[in-house]
Amino acid sequence: MTDTMPSDLLDHARRADGFMPEDEGALLHRIARERLPLGPALEVGTYCGKSAIYLGAAARAVGGTVFTVDHHRGSEENQAGWEHHDPTVVDPELGLMDTLGRFRRNIARAGLEEQVVAIVGQSTTVAAHWRTPLSLLFIDGGHGEQPARDDYAGWAHWVDADGYLAIHDVFPDPADGGRPPYELIYLPALASGAFTEVEAVGSLRVLRRTSGAAGDPLL
Ligand SMILES: C[S@@+](CC[C@H](N)C(=O)[O-])C[C@H]1O[C@@H](n2cnc3c(N)ncnc32)[C@H](O)[C@@H]1O
């Protein structure tokens, strides 16, 4: 059995707006195929569903469910005046970003509504009520200091034994990009002693939980 993205869904992933290069998406898809038979995956940072299509395609292939959390109001860097702003995803009445509609359309077009479940809300609020072990956690939410700190504190301990913690936009060299995912998610995960790095493509790092189990606090 191949573990690569099926070509029909790769086309959908390519067409979706977002921030997931194809080689990194392929890695995400492969690790999701490995883990999804063992329990659900959760993504923090849906945006318009680009990475969720790579994850959902894995669920279509091997079974399983992908939860994806976002308030759909955009990160700091998505707001007007910032580098990653797209004015076509601003709600004209509210004057606020709203990526939920575009996400729903992308997932419906890809035929992944059974596999990909949207959770609309603040990551911290959802995490505070979350109790389910995760076979795979993909953190790609807010890239500022507080959101990165919150996503690590709220979610990383839900990764099950042998499960994966995948982190996007990890840049050890400051010349390549922002620091919070590297300093406040990746480094603390390694320093906790609970995770070991197993793979990396581009800015996507994949760590495996090599000690403890879901729900155990991380040091
Ligand atoms: C980098 S984008 C995600 C990109 C997406 N994974 C892709 O493949 O295109 C980050 C997303 O995180 C969301 N986000 C930022 N801070 C959040 C928070 N505190 N709670 C929920 N979502 C948040 C933003 O709304 C934005 O859609």
Mean pLDDT of the chain: 96
pLDDT at 41 over 70: yes
Q: CA 111 → CA 57, 97, 156, 195, distances in Å?
A: 9, 25, 29, 34
- Catalytically annotated residues: 143
- Does the global pTM surpass 0.75? yes
Distance CA 218, CA 191 (A): 10
Q: What is the pLDDT of residue 35?
A: 98
Using the atom order of ligand 1, give the atom closest to the CA of residue 73. Answer: 25
Output the pLDDT for position 84. Answer: 84
- Could you read off the pLDDT of 50-100 as tens digits, one per residue? 999 999 999 999 999 999 999 999 998 888 888 888 999 999 999 999 999
**Distance from Cα 18 to the centre of ligand 1, integer Å:** 10
pLDDT in tens, 108-123: 999 999 999 999 999 9
Under a CB-based contact definition with an 8 Å cutoff, are residues 71 and 121 in contact?
Answer: yes
Instruction: For strands 41-44 and 134-139, give the pairing.
Output: parallel
What are the CA-CA distances from residue 93 to residues 97, 98, 123, 132 (Å)? 10, 11, 25, 37
Please name the residue ranges forming H helices in 44-186: 50-62, 100-110, 123-129, 145-155, 180
Q: Please, are residues 59 and 29 in contact by the beta-carbon 8 Å criterion?
A: no
pLDDT at 1: 55
Best probe residue, ligand 1, of 71, 76, 91, 102 (max atoms within 8 Å of C-beta) = 71
Å from CA of 70 to ligand 1 middle: 6
